[in-house]
Amino acid sequence: MLIFAKARLVFLSVPKTGTTAWEKALAPVADIVVNDPPELKHAPVFRYNRFFRPMVDKFIGEEVEIIATIREPISWLGSWYRYRRRPFMQDRPNNTYNVSFDDFVDAYCRGDRPDFANVGAQSKFVEPAGNGTCVTRFFRYEDQPALHAFLEDRLQQRIGLTRENVSPQMPLELSEATEAKLRRKCAAEFTLYQSI
């Protein structure tokens, strides 16, 4: 999470949406950089509302814009799947080494997800808090130029961006039946993405 006082801007760090690269590029000009522990770096709206909003309201002001990047849902799951196939994950119980992408997505669609498919949901991450605290502007991960232009304009400076924390490339095959199941069971993810 990045907080910019003068620009009155909060940039939430939705997992697997390229925010590590943005954090590296913008940390020198951010007033608050939360990059550890992961539960705070990737604070969803409800956690931002509970722990950070009171401080932001008091010292920066209540009229702060909250932004977040949302990734196309199948691509987002693919990034999680590939991330959990990195060498350092091999001995961890939530790795995807012996799981196909189709099986990973099928497991994600279950009510009781196994550890390897328990990756949360973008729609839950940005779900508005009960008091109305919410993301005020969304960007699509697939449209980085729009986010780049917005941030350069808002922060009044040029931003150089590098690729960070990139998962290994690999072919990901998803059957029509599994994709249909995902779209049915996780409709909120697709509705959110299409609304941007």
The domains found in the chain, sorted by start residue, are: 2-194 (3.40.50)
pLDDT in tens, 10-32: 999 999 999 999 999 999 999 99
pTM: 0.93
- Look at residues 165, 169, 163, 139 and name the one whose alpha carbon lies nearest to residue 151: 139
Alpha carbon 105 to its chain centroid, in Å, reads 18
- Look at residues 119, 122, 124 and name the one whose alpha carbon lies nearest to residue 46: 124
- Residue 166 pLDDT > 90: no
Strands 2-4 and 137-140: unpaired
Tell me what percent of the residues of the chain surpass a pLDDT of 70.
100
Q: What is the pLDDT of residue 167?
A: 75
pLDDT in tens, 68-83: 999 999 999 999 999 9
Structure tokens belonging to residue 184: 């049915």
What totals of helices (H) and strands (E) does the chain contain, helices first?
Answer: 10, 5
Rounded to whole angstroms, how far apart are CA atoms 62 and 46?
16
- Residue 139 pLDDT > 80: yes
Structure tokens belonging to residue 96: 């995807």
Q: Let me know: does 13 contact 44? Beta carbons within 8 Å.
A: no
pLDDT in tens, 84-117: 998 888 889 899 999 999 999 999 999 899 999 9
Rounded to whole angstroms, how far apart are CA atoms 169 and 58?
44
